[in-house]
Each structure stands twice: as C-alpha cells, then as structure tokens.
Structure 1
C-alpha cells in the first residue's frame, strides 16, 4: 500500500490543490472553523451555565441575608416589648394586694374615716394608679373582663358558669383581673361565664 493510499481522501485532495488557490483557502478556513466552533460553543455554554449558577447562588444568599435581617429586627422588637415580662408578672401580685386592700373597705364606711384614715386610703389609691401607669408605660395593660364583656378563651380563664343578667357566653363575674403585655397574655383573667338569665 502506498503512502497516498494510507491517507484519507480529503488529505490527498487538499494536497493536490495549489497552496494559493481559492479552493484550498476555503477548505483551510472550513477546517479551522470546524476545529474552533465546537470548542468555542461548548466553552460559551459552560460559562453561561456557571454565570447562571453564580447568579442563583447570589440571589439565594441575598434572600437568606434578608430573612436573617428581618428575623433579627423582629427579635429586637420583641425583646424591647417583652423584656419586662417576668418583672411585670411579679408585680401583678402587688397590684392584686392593693386592689384587695381598697375592696376591703366598703363605700359606706369611707365617709366615716378620720382625716388620717382618708389620707391613708387616698395614698393607697394613688399608689395603685401610679403602679398601673408605670406598667402601661412598658406595654402592660389590663384585660377587659368587666361583667357583660365577651368571653375570650385566649384572655379569660373560666372557672364556673352561673346564671346572670348578662347574655349567655359573656362574662358574669370577675374573680381576678387579667393582664397582657403587647398582644401577648401575661395572665388570664379568672372569670365566671354567664349561662343567661335564671328561669
């Protein structure tokens, strides 16, 4: 077998063309393009895939940072509102004792008090008002548990059901006041629920 027979026909054909002929230039350019294009297209596709993946990573990282920032802001806001929760809960017994002290003296006996007794009573009332004002300043407020108010199991704790002049399902009587801090119940009000008017 001769050398020419071993080589592919295209190589023999190309060699037979004159080096400067237009046909040889076209064939050379086509061969170069064939060699270049798949590599360039593949590389471009790879780079575009990498860019897409990097964009996706950046967007995910940005979204995660935004979520972390929002969570941190919420935690800071909650910490500001609820930081005094335990302390306020401890002070509720003081408020209860002041309320019991004021309730122990019937209205008809208040006028019979001496001047010193009335001053003492006024001081206790002022102390209770000041305590409630300071609690309110820190977001701690009383829960509405007046007789006739709508019963809410999230804010009220029912210990009994009694007949009363108030509509069925509303609060008939309050045994202990309830308190909330922000929108969170600090202590549920202890109440009796009305079963409606007695027959």
Structure 2
C-alpha cells in the first residue's frame, strides 16, 4: 500500500456551508431571485413612504411655526394699536384747541389780562393733551418745510414757489397724527411746485464742479 496522502480539496463545502448557500428544498434559484427582488422592492417602497412621511412632518412643523409667529405678531399689533379707534375719536379735541388759540387776536391779548389768562389756560390744556397722546405713542405730524410724503400727507393744493424744491410742504392746514408707525390721520398740506427737482432721501449733496488747473504747455 502506498503511504502518499491525497491532496485536500479546498472546494469541498461543509454541510453547514452548503446549507447556507443552497436554496431551500423545493425552491429553485430563479424562485429565490424572485423572492429577493420582491423583498427589495418592498423595502424600497417602505423607504420611499418613510421619506414622504418625514417630508410631511417637516412641512407640518414649519407651518405650525409660521402660524405661531403670525399669532404672536397679530397679538403684538393688537396691543400696540388697541387705542387707535379711541385716538381717532379725540383728535378733534386737539383741532378745537388749535382753532381757539388761533382765533384770539394778539393785540387783544396784550390789552386784556383776563383774555390773556384764558388763552394761557387753553395753551396749557393743549400741551397736556399732546403729552397724553405722546405717552400712548400718538405723535403729531406738522411737516412744514419737509418733502411731501403721500403716506403721511394729503395735498389740498399746490402753490408756485421756485425758491424751494418742488414737492416741499409750504403750509399745513390741519396737522396729522401717527400711532407708532401707523398713520391715524394725514396732515392736510399745501405743496410747492415750479422749483428744482427734489433729491431722493439719503442722496449726498452734489458739489459744484471746480476748474482744473491748466498744466504748463
């Protein structure tokens, strides 16, 4: 008998490895591929569904945050402008103060101490009235000499004046009022025309051109 050992065949699988790599009994290779493909398709579908639900969740969170911010902004505006209606109702009181002061002739005040005392009382009352409005955010619009602002002013007429830029407020017939940044009542004004074109706010003033020194020939 020969003592030579036969080479070991490395390709021979153990029973455990063969069971792990071989399809189950009664299942062909093609059937196994079909099962794997079906499982992969189901997994891809579930991943897509999960991505869609995550997108819906993020959109819902963003929409909720927008609603919260909008409600907070509306709440702030309500608190800020709560007195708007009341303020509009009492603006005529200030108009009456101004009419009363303007109706008193200055020469009559100087010759009548009682009239002067009465006028001083009306002026003091008007000052207190304006102070009370300012404490609640209501400010007077008295824009004489300022550029016309269609958001805060109402032009009742135009007047020729070449000495000021066109669109300058020359006279105020009736003062206006602002509540913080909201216009309660526009000021009724007279606006200039015929003058130079007014520059835009923030434009730097243009310097007059200077003669350049001539170089020696």
Q: TM-score, normalised by structure 2?
A: 0.71
- RMSD over aligned CA atoms reads 2.6
- CA displacement 1:63-103 (0-9 Å, x = unmatched): 11111011111111111122111111111111000011111
User: Aligned to 1:152, which of 149, 152, 172?
Assistant: 149
Q: Is the 8 A contact 2:142 2:172 kept in 1?
A: no
Residue 111 of structure 1 aligns to a residue whose secondary structure is: helix
How far apart, in 2, do the equivalents of 1:153 and 1:96 lie?
22
Q: Is the 8 A contact 1:169 1:193 kept in 2?
A: yes
Residue 112 of structure 2 aligns to a residue whose secondary structure is: coil
Aligned residues: 176
Structure 1 portions without partners, runs of 5+: 1-19
Q: TM-score, normalised by structure 1?
A: 0.77
Q: Is the 8 A contact 1:166 1:172 kept in 2?
A: no
Q: 1:26 to 1:174 in 2, by over 3 A?
A: closer
Once the two structures are superposed, the pairs formed by residues 180-191 of structure 1 within 5 Å of their partners are: 180-191=178-189
- CA displacement 1:86-130 (0-9 Å, x = unmatched): 11111111100001111112334333232x433322221121111
Structure 2 portions without partners, runs of 5+: 1-14, 196-217
Q: Is the 8 A contact 2:176 2:186 kept in 1?
A: yes
Q: CA deviation at 1:49?
A: 1.3
Q: CA deviation at 1:168?
A: 2.6
User: Aligned to 1:138, which of 132, 136, 139?
Assistant: 136
